[in-house]
Every structure is written in structure tokens, then in C-alpha cells.
Amino acid sequence: EKGTYPHFMLKEIDEQPFVIRNIIQKYQNEDGTVHLDDDIRSAMKSSDRIYVIAAGTSYHAGLVGKQLIEKIAQRPVEVHIASEFLYNMPLLSENPLFIFISQSGETADLRGVLVDVKKKGYRALTITNVPGSTLSREADFTLHTYGGPEIAVASTKAYTAQMAVFTLLAVDTAKASGIELDFDPIKELGIVANAMEILCDQKDRFEQIARDYLSVTRNCFFIGRAADYFVCLEGALKLKEISYIQAEGFAGGELKHGTIALIEDGTPVIAIATQEHVNLSIRGNVKEVAARGANPCIISMEGLESEGDAFVLPKVHELLTSLVTVIPLQLISYYAALHRGCDVDKPRNLAKSVTVE
Ligand code: F6R
């Protein structure tokens, strides 16, 4: 039930801080440490390469998940689009572990890969919001994202929940491998949940950004570098699927290799700047598009802000920024769709769970 909310999507965006706190609670030991299932732990520890398989928004969570596992647990990870993997399989390592990420647990493209890799004798872990689902039943292990039912077609809380679970998986694998962490993951995820709440309380600001930048445009670009690039892909997907504005996410440095030709007078470019080591370069990219007439909207983070930024996010750990940055992008997409009279919860041509190949 959506209660007093006009749409499930808005309700589900608002639920994100609670989902993160719920995940912390479910995976935390009494002494405040993280410990996942022993079988998952040893599967992660004994694999020499992890292959993440997913589609759509879950694929975007996988890109962030790769970074979390590589940076925290120091294990190599590849992320693949499910529908491509089956027909264009890369050369696999000797002892792979497959991770299937799926909100619904029913996506046919993923199931095709799962059946195939199980046949080959490889182990599979499903990260899903629906533990009884097909992908959960058919994999060797399941990690539950505890997001509660997601009704809106556009995925929101499932995405942040998947990244939170990836964080804990990375932390647990690091611990099992004797890697010392220089941060407390539970504390940092708590800070993320608080930051999400602050953002959800500022909906008017994001509604105004949607009005200022997106009310008449035909297209919109999202640019970012490093982790911000991944969230740009998600921001663009959200915007196009519910508002039907043509939107694309690009790595800031890639624009000059072609895409910048699309910039016209007034083209909205939403730039994300939460990563210290690329802050100067992304701001340089903003200048490049602005010089060609774009209307840039910079979303930065405390400590990295500059005059003229449209919004400054509360500071969170640099590996966890995507969980927070996506909230304004979800809200901006929501309001852009609302202002254009679109059916926010049930966009045209789409189904919540894609059970055909
Ligand atoms: C986007 C969206 C889709 C799904 C994709 C995978 O908002 O909802 O892109 O993310 O169809 O679905 P799951 O995660 O259920 O496998």
C-alpha cells in the first residue's frame, strides 16, 4: 500500500534510509561486526575471480559492487550484462564464483546464465530482494537485500540495498582474508542512512532542479568520473524510463571523443562531483560543455563544493557515495516525469520483472 504517497516510487525512495538500517541490523553480530554465512564466506575466499551478472539497474549496482569488492577485499571482479554474457562468454578463470544480482530474482536473461554455469559446475550466489525466487532457489547461496516489496517499475530502494549488501560482502571477505580495514563499515553505512534521510527531506529542492533543467528539454546528459560515472548511468536510466527524456550517462573524460557534438544551447548536463581525486578533472569537463552552451547542474559533496554548485550532498565515505548520490537523481527523475504528466509507477513499454529473454 502506498498510504499517503501519490506514487509507490516516491514511497520507495523515502524508504531507503530504513532499508539500509534494516540491512545493517540483519547482517550485524551482537558485537557490532559483520559476519555472513560461512559457506558464502568460503566460496568468496576460495574463488580466484568473481563474475557479476545482472541487467538494468542491478547491473549498475554491480559496477559499484565491483569497486567495493576490489578495493575492500582485493579480489578481481568482472561485471557483465546478463543477456550478453550468455552469447559472448569471456575466458573464465580457473575457479570462478558467479554473483547474480536481481531485485525480482526472476529475470530470464540471468536465469539463462545461471543454468549454463551450474551445468558447467561453477558455484553461484544470488543477491536478491525475493529469497524464494527462481534465481535464489537455483543458486547455491542467497544474500537477501531486505528491501521489502518494490512495486514501482523504476527500481530505487533495491539498487541502494544491493550496494549496501555488496559492502558487507566485501567487508566479510576482507576479514576472512586477513585484510585490515581502515574504516568501520557499520558506522559508515549508518552515516549513509542519515545522509539519505537529509536528502529525502529536501524534495522541494530537487523538484525545483527538475523544473529548472528538465521541463522543456528533449535530452539530458549525466557526467561523472570514477564511482560518479556508475551513478550517472543509473541516473540516466531512471530519467529515460519514467520521463521519456533521452538521457545518457558518460564518463567525464569520454565526452570529447564524440558526445560533446550533441551539446547545444541550453542542453542540461548534470555533473556529479563527489570524488576528490577527480574533482578538478570533472569540473574541467563541466567548463568544456558550458563553453559550448550547455546548462550545467553540478551536484557535489561537502568538502569538494565550489560556488555555483546546484546541490552539495552531505559527506559520506568515498566508497559509499553512490548510495547517496543516487537519491537526488531518483527524485529529479520522479519530478521530471510528474511535471510531464507521465505515469510514474507504470512507464510505457516496461514490466516490473522481465521473464522473457
Ligand atoms: C530499472 C529497472 C530494470 C531492472 C532490470 C533487472 O529501473 O527496474 O532495469 O533493474 O530489469 O531487474 P531485476 O533486478 O529484477 O533482475
| Res 350: pLDDT | 85
> Please, which residues bridge with residue 127 across strands?
101, 143
Closest CA to 217 of 266, 260, 262: 266
Active site residues: 352
Residue 295 carries which DSSP code?
A: E
How confident is the prediction along the chain (357 residues), in pLDDT tens digits per residue? 899 999 999 999 999 999 999 999 999 988 888 989 999 999 999 999 999 999 999 999 999 999 999 999 999 999 999 999 989 999 999 999 999 999 999 999 999 999 999 999 999 999 999 999 999 999 999 999 999 999 999 999 999 999 999 999 999 999 999 999 999 999 999 999 999 999 999 999 999 999 999 999 999 999 999 999 999 999 999 999 999 999 999 999 999 999 999 999 999 999 999 999 999 999 999 999 999 999 999 999 999 999 999 999 999 999 999 999 999 999 999 999 999 999 998 888 888 888 888
Whole-number Å distance between alpha carbons of 300 and 151:
30
CA of 261 to the centre of ligand 1 (A): 31
Q: Are 298 and 325 in contact (CB under 8 A)?
A: no
CA of 56 to the centre of ligand 1 (A): 5
Q: Which of 58, 126, 243, 350 to mutate to test the pocket of ligand 1 (most atoms within 8 A of CB)?
A: 58
The shares of helix, strand and coil residues in the chain, as percent rounded to the nearest 5, are 50, 15, 35
Sheet with 141-144, edge to edge strand ranges: 77-81, 49-54, 96-102, 123-128, 141-144
Q: What is residue 54's three-state secondary structure?
A: strand
Phi first, then psi: what are they for 53, rounded to 5°?
A: -120, 130
- What's this model's pTM, rounded to 2 decimal places? 0.97
Predicted-complex ipTM score:
0.99
Pocket residues for ligand 1 (CB within 6 Å)?
Answer: 55-58, 102-104, 107, 154-155, 237, 241, 353-354
Q: How is residue 170 written as a grid cell? A: 566485501
